[in-house]
Homo-oligomer: A and B are copies of this chain.
């Protein structure tokens, strides 16, 4: 939905312009992965992501247990991108009258399990009815000064965690009618879409190292989120197509659109971050998989991709397509 995404950035810009007020307690305002309030020296990180039926999930594609996990995971990923420690959750849940109790129980089981895994306590929220299911989770985190997306400088190296494209390839399989548990070789991809693993521990380590100049999570696809990071930092970038991390599973797939998933597919919830060359040694020995994929340039150069033959072209920012 390109129109939708254009509208979204348009609206966010209007909101930024009209709502921005001076408040000494606000450390990070509208537009980053999470807001940060500095309350008498104590930093509170706040993030809110919404999942709506038939846009972000469908009753057919998403088993309720995994949906309960995912609505927390996408918010955990926002806190991971700031290097914050998750603490508390608020759950807003609108259920349609057609939903049965079993669905709700499984949804809550998923919600409970991921909260336990990440030591997040549910402290409140709101439950109501609606024609379609709607889930709005607010997460509250704590930590030292967060890592924003606006600190990248020319010559900084660009890294990405994990591997890219698995989730959106999984979504394409769901759209073709394939479901979890039907084909062993497809489960990896479908699970990547249904049950993403937010990189909270990696985010925290990167913050502690103090080596990262800018960070964002890849929720809308590498091209869009790299564009967002570069726009916030007022820089350009060059990435190498051959260096992009791809899972062995995806390498084995014979899909022609492979690089479409890797470059533009959303929902990976990996971390994209930049490190100055002097500080690179601080991050390369982490236990998590991270991959060098390119470097930051002056803004004027734009955002480029170099293919395996050394040919440079402009990286198109293709909006991640939602379900409709």
Cβ contact within 8 Å between A35 and B129:
no
Using CB atoms, name the residue of chain B closest to A51: B128
- Chain A count of residues within 8 A CB distance of the other chain: 67
CB-CB < 8 A to A14: which residues of B? 105, 108
Chain B nearest CB, measured from A48 CB (Å): 4
CB-CB < 8 A to A34: which residues of B? 124
**How far, in angstroms, from A107 to B294 measured CA to CA in the complex?**
42
List residues of A (26-80) whose CB comes within 8 Å of B's CBs. Answer: 26, 29-32, 34-35, 37, 39-40, 42, 44, 46-50, 52-56
**Which of A89-97, A161-169, A251-259, A280-288 lines the interface with chain B?**
A89-97
Q: Which residue of B35, B49, B125, B126 is within 8 Å of A88 (Cβ)?
A: B35
Using CB atoms, name the residue of chain B closest to A12: B127
Cβ contact within 8 Å between B138 and A55:
no
Most buried by B among A4, A34, A50: A50
CB-CB < 8 A to A241: which residues of B? none
In the complex, whether A229 has a CB less than 8 A from a CB of chain B is no
Can you name 29 A-B pairs with beta carbons within 8 Å?
Answer: A4-B97, A12-B127, A15-B122, A18-B108, A18-B112, A19-B112, A25-B87, A26-B123, A29-B124, A30-B122, A32-B124, A37-B140, A39-B39, A39-B42, A39-B142, A46-B90, A48-B124, A48-B125, A48-B136, A49-B92, A50-B92, A50-B134, A52-B131, A53-B131, A55-B131, A129-B322, A132-B132, A134-B134, A138-B138
16 additional A-B pairs beyond A12-B127, A35-B88, A131-B131, beta carbons within 8 Å, are A4-B97, A4-B129, A8-B128, A19-B122, A26-B88, A26-B123, A30-B122, A40-B42, A44-B44, A46-B124, A53-B131, A55-B130, A92-B136, A126-B136, A131-B132, A132-B132
